[in-house]
Structure 1
Amino acid sequence: MELDPQSALLTIEAGLAQLSTLFVSYSFSAIGAVILLIVGYIVAGLAERSIFAGLKHVRGFDLTLCQFFSKMARYAILALVIVMVLGQFGVQTASIIAAIGAIGLAVGLALQGTLQNIAAGIMLLALRPFRVGEYVEIGAVAGTAEEIGLFATRLRTIDGVYILAPNSTLWNQPVRNFTRNGVRRNDITIGIGYEDDIDLAHKTLLGLATADKRVNKEPAPTAFVAALGDSAVSVTLRYWTSASDFLSAKLDLTKRAKLAFDDEGISIPFPQQEVVYREVQSAKS
């Protein structure tokens, strides 16, 4: 079959015209996509800084949460910009959004435990049942909080042991915060002999407490009989101190009480004295 030169020329001209149309169309699309990317990048950066600055000025709002929410806003804007750019080239964005949703669901199921830790971390940072520097007891975990992150919390025990606890574990259990209220009550109980003067023991304990500057004046310290044992009368000194002085005051007052009782002639029966007495009496019989 003989090729008609005129038909071939017309076909080439039609093809070139279509290519020119496509080039012009996609050129505008490409330019629009570049503009969208630039504007979206700038807007995402401005949104991140604005949200961070705004949340930072909210009283009590944790710095980690400020960074988290500002970053989330930035990535959300960038994801929206990318979808809009793909739409410029005629890509069906509905299918893309559906695919992203399916991928997000699969990732969420795979990282379920991690997402639980993040959610718990947000709640811990927002509600603040404990802060950095506070001593807490949560289930089997006890120590001073050193860092509260989105995934885990770092604590240090009294004996210096490092603990990294997942946030979901801490959030799902009652929190005992020994520092938050600022003050703590303590009871020092000492056994004295039945023949000793109880009023003198009370006076001695109250004198020690009122002389110690770490003991709060209000509520005032009190002394009372806590129990009547087999071989001793248990007298208790009850007082309040600041949370930071709790341990040092307890150790010092316990030592001073023993020395003061010795000076006053108040006996402190040996815990096993009654047991030894009974064994001796049993042997004699």
Structure 2
Amino acid sequence: MELDPANAYAAIQNGFDQLYVLGVSYSLSFIGAVVLLVVGYMVAGLVERSVAGGLKHIHGFDLTLTRFLAAVSRYAVLIFVGVMVLGQFGVQTASIIAAIGAAGLAIGLALQGTLQNIAAGIMLLVLRPFRIGEEIEVGAISGLVEEIGLFATRLRTAEGVFLLAPNSTLWNQPVRNYTRNGMRRNDIVVTVADAGVVVDAENRLLAVAAADARVRKKPAPTAFVSELGEGAIKITLRYWTSAGDFVSTKAELTEKVVSHFRKPEGAEQ
């Protein structure tokens, strides 16, 4: 079969015409996509800065949560721009959104424990049961809070050990915050064998507490009989001090009480 030059030329010409139409059409789409990407990137940065700036003006709002929400807003804008760019090339955005939703669901199921930590971290940052620099105890976890992250909280134990606790563990249990209220109470108990020295023992304990400037005057320290036993009477010295002085005051006052009650007419702790 002989090739007709006229038909061949017409077919080639038709092919070039179609390529030209496609080139013009997709070049416009490409230019539009580039413009969308540039503008979207700028808008995403502007939204991130606006959210961060607005949240920083809220008194007491945590810096970590501010950065997280600002980053989320930025990526939300970028995802929206990405969907619009794909739409420029004729891709069905409905199917893209459905695919993103399905992928998000799959990732959420795979990272369920991690997402629990993130949700707990957000709640900890919003409700603030503890802050950086405070001493806490949550179940078997205790120490000084050094950093509150979205996934975990870093603490330093009393022994100076590094401790990284998952946020979900800290959120799902009662929190003991030894620093938050500013004051802490302590009891020092001594035992005497003779009821005749009870008043003298109480006066000695109160004198020890009054001599220490770290002991609060309000509420005033008290000394009282806390337990009666066979041949033994327990007397308790109860006092308040600032949370920061609690450990040192407890140790030094205990030592002073022991020194006072080493005398034969007194009693031992």
TM-score range, shorter chain: over 0.9
TM-score (norm 2): 0.95
Matched residue, 1:187:
187
CA 1:5–1:33: 2 relative to 1, 3 Å: same
Residue 103 of structure 1 pairs with residue 86 of structure 2: no
Instruction: Report the counterpart of residue 18 of structure 1 in structure 2.
Output: 18
The number of equivalent residue pairs is 269
Q: Measure how far apart 1:120 and its partner are.
A: 0.7
Question: Root-mean-square deviation (CA), in Å?
Answer: 1.6
1:5, distance to aligned residue in structure 2 (A)? 3.8
Which structure has the larger Rg over C-alpha atoms? Answer: 1
Contact 1:196 1:267 in 2 (8 A): no
Instruction: Report percent identity of matched pairs.
Output: 64
Match in the other structure for 1:136: 136
Cα deviations by residue, 1:233-253 (Å, 9 ceiling, x for unpaired): 111111110011111111211
Partner of residue 240, structure 1: 240
Measure, in 2, the Cα distance between the counterparts of 1:214 and 1:233. 28
Question: 1:282 is matched with which residue?
Answer: none
Contact 1:193 1:268 survives alignment (8 Å): no
Match of 2:165 in 1: 165
Distance, in Å, in 2 between the alignment partners of 1:217 and 1:114 is 48
Distance 1:195 1:89, change over 3 A: closer
**Does the residue aligned with 2:208 lie in a helix, a strand or coil?**
helix
Consecutive unaligned residues of structure 1, counting only runs of 5 or more, are 270-285
Return the offset for 1:267: 2.9
- Please tell me whether the aligned partners of residues 152 and 164 of structure 1 are also in contact (alpha carbons under 8 angstroms): yes
The equivalent residue for 1:155 is: 155
Deviates most, 28-37 or 97-106: 97-106
Query: Could you list the per-position Cα deviations for residues 234-283 of structure 1 after superposition, in whole angstroms to 9, with x for gaps in the alignment?
Result: 111111100111111112112212222345831338xxxxxxxxxxxxxx
Mapping of 1:1-285 within 5 angstroms?
Answer: 1-262=1-262, 265-268=265-268
CA distance in 1, matches of 2:134, 2:35: 51
Unpaired stretches in structure 2, ≥5 consecutive residues: none
Q: CA deviation at 1:205?
A: 1.1
Measure how far apart 1:10 and its partner are. Answer: 3.4
Q: Following the alignment from structure 2 to structure 1, what is the Cα–Cα distance between the partners of residues 268 and 112?
A: 59
CA distance in 2, matches of 1:258, 1:196: 20
> 2:193 touches 2:233 (CA, 8 Å); kept in 1?
yes
Q: Structure 2 vs 1, CA of residues 267 and 10 (structure 1 numbering), >3 Å: closer, same or farther?
A: closer
